[in-house]
Amino acid sequence: MMLLHRRTLLRGVAAAILSPRLARAAVTDASGRAISIPEKVERVFAGGPPAAILLYTFAPDLLIGWTRSHDPAQCEFLGPGGCDKPEVGRLTGRGNTTNLEVLLKLKPDLILDVGTINDTYVTLATRVQEQTGILYALLDGRFGAIGPLYRKMGELTHRQAQADDFALYAESTIATIKGRVDKIPEQSRPCVYYGRGPRGLETGLGGSINVETIEFLDARNVAAERRGGMATVSVEQVLAWNPDVIITIEPAFAAAVKADPVWAAVKAVRNGRVHLSPRLPFAWVDFPPSVNRLIGLWWLAKALYPEQFPEDLRPLTREFYTRFYHKTPTDAQIDSLLSGRA
Amino acid sequence: MAVASAVLVAGLLLALMVGRYPVSFAELFGVIAGKLTGHAPAVPSAVENVVWQVRGPRVASAALVGAALAIAGTAFQGLFRNPLVSPDILGASSGAALGAVLGIYFSLGVFAIQAFAFVGGLVAVAAVYVIGGAVRARDPILVLVLTGVVIGALLGAGVGMVKYLADPYGQLPAMTFWLLGSLASIGARDIAPLGVPVALGTLLLLALRWRLNVMSLPDEEARALGLPTGPLRVAIVAAATLVTSASVATAGVIGWVGLVVPHIARTLVGPDFGRLIPATALLGGGFLLLIDTLARTVSAVEIPLGILTALVGTPFFIWLLASVSKTWS
């Protein structure tokens, strides 16, 4: 009787001592997997460019390294942690370049990946977690879900208050812009052609991630008659579509299209509504498909609906860059950014 | 031959009539008549623009590229005495592909990408020829083919490396689309850089057509008949490479045309190069014209030419293999 009591007592004491260490917060990631986060999260490995950008904006000290190192033009707009971290390769997405052993040597507390949630990525996450023993969180990178994305990041890194800040900023920006766009009647929504590639003939079909922010603003993507990813079209097809606005991130194409006799007949070119997106440090439209597109939403709204969005982009840009990229750009830098010279 | 030319011209006109941009027959007729008579046609300028700046150059390029690849295939099949030879045998396509992806990797302009591709093709074949020539062997043709295969593989690995290092969001899709082959971006400015090398190469091959007949014999016999086989080989390879590089630089990598069309032409007109070269040119031009018309009209998005030629060429080639043994001797 006494022996049993003692064993029970010992077991109870052991449980009491060990339980604080075992009691980790359990967070569910976007794929439905429960991740038990340790108390201290100090090193996070970003599995791809969207995750790296996201992590850098809200917790640059946690980021172990970038997937690709940045060129000097990009470094001018990035604050501390932008260009002084090592290049660690990408773990997932289109082509992985990280060696798993290198990953282990870096000793991350958590691997973070932001993007599409489908079986390929979920199984990859499970496999990497099994192989390396490092927790792997997979989050949904859809543009409309930026608020919840930041909040989830806050839960994962124990920085909920900080994350809430960013989430509120993102949600209020989106709400303001969407609120005004929703009031615009259907007929006034412009037909948009998004052109990329050296000749501007690559485009995003309906629902593709390339045109996510454009379609988010309820503009009519001329290529949306088919749903899918990216595709090439011929100039003839663009002429047949005759878009009202052309959006591009390719400076060579933006310059050439204004002088090319072939494109001259397109409505957008005739009316001067060819818009080149700012590109530094990350493009404001299309890729990388991360929170860098948030400031691009203002820019797109102005390009598509100039009357409803009379705001000056410069203070908005300054605020966004200071908050998200941790460096306040000078007026000259903002001007060169917005003019497309950057 | 006259019938074939008439068919090709009819094909060109037909191709001009179809497309994603609505152009009626009357409008097309008006535009062409306007150009011929010098009066301004009574059609909207947008339609005129489409016909002369967009569809016209594209249709002309399709015919030119098809003819070029077919002629190169014919020349190589005769030179190497092998029915399975295509214009890529000496690595011209791989070299051009490497040049183009390097151009895309360094974010160069469109003209620079095409120039890189053109030069890449020429340099690759030159390298193959120099290396192959340095090897002393009894059968220089075999050595050339083997070197071509090896260098082609090396260049292919180079292309893979550049694709691996490229930015997966921006540069890699551009490289992938280029490598699949497309005439979607052809404008009036691209006709000259394509047409001049193709014309030069074709004229050279036409001038050598009688000698090509003799080159189909084994080397010793050809030399016994008085032919300088060494210099002739250089000339034929140079002409065919010029033509191939220009085509690949303009349209990307398009296979099967150079392999299948010479066989069809041989079935129709026999192995004499005097008639074979023009026949192949007409047939190749018509074939690629048809393929390109399909590629640009079937749906709103472009179907890459390389894919369509393979889809059409493969069953045809199997049929060819199964049904004929008499065309090749």
- Render B5-73 in DSSP notation, one character per residue: HHHHHHHHHHHHH-SSS---HHHHHHHHHHHHH-SPPSS-HHHHHIIIIIIHHHHHHHHHHHHHHHHHH
| Residue B34 scores a pLDDT above 90 | no
pLDDT at B199: 94
Task: DSSP for B68-131, please give it.
Answer: HHHHHHHHHHHHTT-TT--GGGGSHHHHHHHHHHHHHHTT--HHHHHHHHHHHHHHHHHHHHHH
How many C-beta atoms lie closer than 10 Å to residue A52's C-beta?
A: 26
What percent of chain B has a predicted confidence (pLDDT) above 70? 98
Q: Which residue has the higher pLDDT, B161 or A10?
A: B161
Say whether both A234 and A160 belong to one domain: no
Q: Would you give the distance in Å from CA A336 to the centre of its chain?
A: 23
In this complex, do A260 and B22 lie within 8 Å of one another by their Cβ atoms?
no
Cβ separation B53–A225 shorter than 8 A: no
CATH classification (class only), B2-323: mainly alpha
| Residue A234 to residue B55: CA distance in whole angstroms | 10
Q: Does B173 touch chain A (CB under 8 A)?
A: yes
A57 falls within a domain: yes
Q: A145 and A37: one domain?
A: yes
| C-alpha closest to that of B72 among B80, A133, B251 | B80
Q: How confident is the model over B160-176, as pLDDT tens digits?
A: 999 988 888 888 988 99
| Same domain for A267 and A162 | no
The last residue of a domain, from among A120, A141, A175: A175
- In angstroms, rounded to a whole number, what is the distance separating the alpha carbons of residues A135 and A128? 9
For the stretch B257-308, pLDDT in tens is 999 899 888 888 888 888 899 999 999 999 999 999 999 888 888 899 999 9
Report the 10 Å Cβ neighbour count for A167.
21
Q: A95 and B168 in contact by Cβ < 8 A? A: yes
pLDDT exceeds cutoff 80 at A98: no
The secondary structure of A292-340 as a DSSP string is THHHHHHHHHHHH-TTT----HHHHHHHHHHHHHS-PPPHHHHHHHHHT
How does the average pLDDT of chain A come out, rounded? 88
Say whether both A237 and A317 belong to one domain.
Answer: yes
* A164: confidence class by pLDDT, cuts 50, 70, 90: very high
**Preceding amide of B173 cis, omega within 30:** no
What are the chain A neighbours of B22 within 8 Å (beta carbons)? 240
Residue range B168-193: mean pLDDT, rounded: 88
Domain contains A1:
no
Which CATH number does the domain housing residue A68 bear?
3.40.50.1980
A238 within a domain of the structure (yes/no): yes
| Total Cβ atoms within 10 A of residue A202 | 24
Please answer whether residues A9 and A3 qualify as being in contact, where contact means their C-beta atoms are separated by less than 8 angstroms: no
Q: Are B59 and B193 in contact (CB under 8 A)?
A: no
What angle separates helix B273-297 from helix B56-79, to the nearest 10 degrees?
A: 140
Q: Are residues A198 and A168 in the same domain?
A: no
- In DSSP terms, A136 is beta-bridged to A111
Reading across the β-sheet that carries A44-46, which strands appear in turn? Answer: A44-46, A110-115, A135-140
Question: Which of A72-86, B25-39, B54-68, B224-238 comes out lowest in average pLDDT?
Answer: B25-39
Span A80-96, average pLDDT? 76
B45, B173, B299: residue with CB nearest A230: B173
Say yes or no: A140 and A218 in one domain.
no
A190 and A247 together in one domain = yes
CA distances (Å), A212 to each of A224, A271, A315, in order? 11, 25, 25
ipTM higher than threshold 0.85 = no
Pair A135, A207 in one domain: no
What pLDDT score was predicted for residue A190? 95
Q: Is A259 exposed, middle or buried (0-12, 13-18, 19+ CB in 10 A)?
A: exposed
How far is it, in rounded angstroms, from Cα B202 to Cα A73?
Answer: 48
Residue A11 lies in a domain: no
Contact A94, A189 (CB under 8 A): no
Residue A20 domain-assigned?
no
Question: A93 or A56, which is more confident?
Answer: A56
A163 and A209 together in one domain:
no
Residue A195, beta-bridge partner list:
A248
The answer to the question of residue A4 being in a domain is no
Among A109, A142, A175, residue at a domain's last position:
A175
What is the number of helices (H) and of strands (E) in chain B? 15, 0
Chain B from 223 to 262: CB within 8 A of any A CB: none
Same domain? For A266 and A140 the reply is no
Q: Which of B109, B169, B296 comes nearest A236 by C-beta?
A: B296
Domain boundary among A175, A204, A224: A175
Taking the Cβ of residue B164 and every Cβ of chain A, the question of whether any pair is shorter than 8 Å is answered with: yes
- Residue A33 in this model has a pLDDT that exceeds 60: yes
pLDDT tens figures, B217-242: 887 888 888 888 888 889 999 999 99
pLDDT at A19 over 80: no
Query: How confident is the model at residue B329, as a pLDDT?
Result: 46
Residue A254 tokens read as 């933006």
pLDDT tens digit sequence for A178-219: 999 999 998 899 999 999 988 899 999 999 999 999 999 999
Query: Cα–Cα distance between A303 and A181 in angstroms, integer?
Result: 13
A12 Cα to chain B: minimum distance (Å): 55
Q: Is residue A5 part of a domain?
A: no
Number of structural domains (chain A) is: 2
Asked if residue A124 and residue A59 are part of one domain, the reply reads yes
- Tell me the average pLDDT across A218-246: 92
Pair (A233, A161) in one structural domain: no
Domain that holds residue A145: 25-175
Taking the CA of residue A101 and the nearest CA in chain B, the distance in Å comes to: 20
